[in-house]
Amino acid sequence: MQLTEEQIAEHLRENLHFFDRHTELLANMRLPNPHGSGIISLAERQLLAQRDKARVLEAKLDRFVALAKENDLISDKVHQLSLHLLGAKSFDELTQGLLHNLRESFSVPYVGIRLWAEATQTAELAQTATAHTQAVFQPADEDLKNWLISLKAPYCGLKPDLALDNLFEKLTSESTPPKSFAILALGGSHSLGLLVLASDDDKRFYPEMGTLYLKRIGEMVSTALSHYLD
């Protein structure tokens, strides 16, 4: 009767001291080389397995280190943005600097902001209103407002079926249309408006990406704008 591989394996599992009684089998055992042709000893095979495992662990460590460096870089950029928001002396300085910072420091080609909350300094803003201020307070589509209220976290992904192109100052008919979007609701439950970041890279913003820093940016901008909005 010929034993199957499963029966042999089961026998060895049930007889843990088999190789203690037959040490010569381990010493003379030859196995296929997993990295080439020929055969190698059991000790060599185990050494190769440990080296492979070490390479996998080293690759994981390299990824963790790279991710940590990337997070440090993003954290520093968010910190610099917060300093600008704190130091802004006017509504225009705040919002124009915000858009410039996101475009340049975060390398986001298209950035737009639209506000629909009533301004606490409406008269003052009206007297000093620039073209930029007027653009920021242009009426927003009701579908966009309702969709934004439903967001529980920053939206990341392809363009939703909403009117967004008119939010971007730098977008012209000759520009490459944005393909991926990050949309941040401003003001939390008391909706103030939205901040939109977009890229012509369809993989820049995607549904599975982490949104911790986007959420923090949204919170910082909302707090800074609260001095001007009711």
Domain-embedded: residue 22: no
Q: 199 and 179 in contact (C-beta within 8 Å)? A: yes
* 6, part of any domain: no
Q: Which residues of the chain have pLDDT under 50?
A: 123
Q: For residue 71, what are the CA distances in angstroms to 184, 190, 197?
A: 20, 30, 19
Q: Transcribe 36-74 into DSSP letters.
A: SSSEEEHHHHHHHHHHHHHHHHHHHHHHHHHHHHHHHHH
Q: Is residue 211 included in any domain, yes or no? A: yes
- What's the domain range around 119? 88-225
Instruction: Confirm whether 150 is domain-assigned.
Output: yes
| Look-up of token digits 């971007």 | 168
pLDDT at position 117, please? 66
Tell me whether residue 53 is in a domain. Answer: no
Which amino acid does the sequence have at 84?
H
Strand partners, 183: 155, 196
The pLDDT of residue 125 is 57
What is the structure's pLDDT at 174?
66
Q: What is the CATH number of the domain that holds 183?
A: 3.30.450.40
Report the distance separating Cα 57 and Cα 54, nearest Å.
Answer: 5
Please tell me the predicted confidence (pLDDT) of residue 195. 95
Domain assignment present for 2:
no
Q: For residue range 144-173, list pLDDT tens digits in order.
A: 888 888 888 999 999 998 878 778 876 555
- Using the structure block, give the residue that is written with the tokens 């529980």: 152
DSSP labels, 201-228: STTTS-TTS--HHHHHHHHHHHHHHTTT
- Is 45 inside a domain boundary? no
Q: Would the pTM count as exceeding 0.85?
A: no
Structure tokens at 15: 């007889």
Residue 156 in any domain: the answer is yes
Model pLDDT, residue 96: 92
DSSP 130: -
Name the domain count of the chain. 1
In three-state secondary structure terms, 183 is: strand
